[in-house]
Amino acid sequence: MALTITNIRVIKTAPQGNQQLIVVKVETSDPGLYGVGCATFTQRAAAVVTAIEEFLRPFLVGWDPQRIEDIYQAALTSSYWHSGPVLNNALSGVDEALWDIKGKLANLPLYQLFGGKSREAADLYGHASGETFEAVAESARWLLDQGFRHVRAQVAVPGYATYGSRGGGDRVWEPAPYCRVVPRLFEYLRTHLPEELELLHDIHQRIPPISAIGLAKDLEQFKLFFLEDPFAPEDNDYFPMLRAQSAIPIAMGELFVNPHEYVPLVRDRLIDFMRVHISDIGGLSVARKLAAYCEFFGVRTAWHGPADVSPVGHAANLHLDLAVHNFGIQECTIFNDANREVFPGTPEIRDGYLWANDRPGLGIDVDEAKAGRYPWPDQPLRGGWAPLRRADGTISRQ
C-alpha cells in the first residue's frame, strides 16, 4: 500500500514561559511513522494555526509524504498571494516534518541526507546584556566560563526601551542616545574582556539608515565578528553605501520572508552572514537552496535561533549547520528543563557548541502530554507587541 499523509495536527505549548510555540505533527498511513516541524510565529500564532488546520491539512491529506519538493511547491502556489510570514511558517511546519519522516524512512539523521557532516558540532554565540557596561561584561564572562567563544553584546540606554536588554524606559525609543552608548560599550568590553573573544552586536533595524552607517564606522575599530541587521529590508539600497565606507562584517535577513530578497545582497557581496529565520521563509527545503546559493559568493550561514524558535526548529537549524560547507555561526538559546521534558532529543550545548544526536530524522520528538501542561499564556495582544514610540509619540520599529 502506498504511503500517504493521513493527518496534520498542531501542538501548541509554552514551556519557555511567554513564547507561544507551534509544532506541526504530520501523521502517515504507516502506524507510528510521523514527523514534527516548527511553525512558530509568536506575534501571529493563532493565524498560523488557522492556516495549518483550515488550509494545509485538507489540501495535503492523501499526498505521498516522500514528495517533499512537490508538496512544498503545490502548497505555496495554492493561493494567488503567497510568501508571507503566516503561510511560510505554516509551510515550514509541514516541510520540516516531511524531512523528519524522510530521515526516519532512511533510518538516518537528516545531516546524512544533506550530504553528511562538514563539522562535528555547531559553534554558538550567546547573548550578553545588562543595564550597565559592567553587567554586560559579567554576563559575557559567564558565557566564557561555559566555553563560548562568541558573544553578542547589548546594553540598556538609560531612559529608553532598548532591544536586547531589559533595562531602559517604558516603550519610548530614540536612536541618537543609542548610537552614542554602543561604541562606548564595545570600548569597555575590549578593555575588560579577553582579546580573543569574538563580539557581535544587533542594531535590529531600529535606527535611520544613515545613522547605522555612522555606527558601523564607529564600531569597525573593535573588530566585531559581525554587526547584525543595520537596515530594515526596505532600506537595502543603503548597503552599497555601507560597504563603501566600512569593512565591518554584516549579518542580515531575519526579517526576510522571501528568499529572493537575498539575491542582490549575496550576488553583489554586500553581506557576510545570512540571518534567515528558517520557518519564516518556508522551511528546510528553501533554506538548503539558499545556503547553497550563498556558498558560491562566500556568504556564511547564521540561522536565526532565538527563544521563539521551538527546540524542533533549533534541531532543523543544527542539521543544516552540520552539513553545509559555508556554516558561519549559530545563535544560541539555552532551553529550560521544561522545554527539554516536552521535547526529548533537544540538541545539547557543550563547551559553546551545539551537538546533534544520531537518531533518525531531526532526532527530536514532542511529548504531547507534557506539552499540554504548558498552555499558551493569556496575552492581551495575542502575542503581538505593544507600540514602541519615539519621544514625540511617533511609532518606531520594534
Which range of 18-22, 82-86, 202-206, 315-319 scores highest in mean pLDDT? It is 315-319
Residue 158 counted as domain residue: yes
At residue 30, does pLDDT exceed 90?
Answer: yes
Residue 390 counted as domain residue: no
**How far apart (Å, rounded) are the C-alpha atoms in residues 107 and 91?**
24
Average the pLDDT over each of 74-83, 194-203, 320-329 and give the range with the smallest value: 74-83
Strand partners, 127: 152
Condensed to tens digits (0 to 9), the pLDDT of residues 76-117 reads 999 888 889 999 999 999 999 999 999 999 999 999 999 999
**How far apart (Å, rounded) are the C-alpha atoms in residues 42 and 281?**
15
Residue 66 counted as domain residue: no
Condensed to tens digits (0 to 9), the pLDDT of residues 233-283 reads 999 999 999 999 999 999 999 999 998 999 999 999 999 999 999 999 999
Mean pLDDT value of segment 5-22: 94
Per the annotation, the verdict on 163 as an active-site residue is: yes
C-alpha 303: how far from its chain's center? 5
Strand partners, 27: 7, 34
Residue 48 counted as domain residue: no
CATH for 259: 3.20.20.120
Active-site option among 127, 150, 201, 204: 204
**How far apart (Å, rounded) are the C-alpha atoms in residues 99 and 93?**
10
Whole-model pTM?
A: 0.95
Structural domain total, the chain:
1
210: domain range?
112-361
Mean pLDDT value of segment 27-46: 96
Scan for cell 526596505, then name that residue. Answer: 234
Residue 264 counted as domain residue: yes
Active-site option among 163, 262, 353, 374: 163
Residue 154 counted as domain residue: yes
Condensed to tens digits (0 to 9), the pLDDT of residues 128-183 reads 999 999 999 999 999 999 999 999 999 999 888 877 776 555 788 899 999 999 99
Residue 139 counted as domain residue: yes
Per the annotation, the verdict on 204 as an active-site residue is: yes
Residue 90 counted as domain residue: no
pLDDT at res. 390: 87
**How far apart (Å, rounded) are the C-alpha atoms in residues 77 and 82?**
7
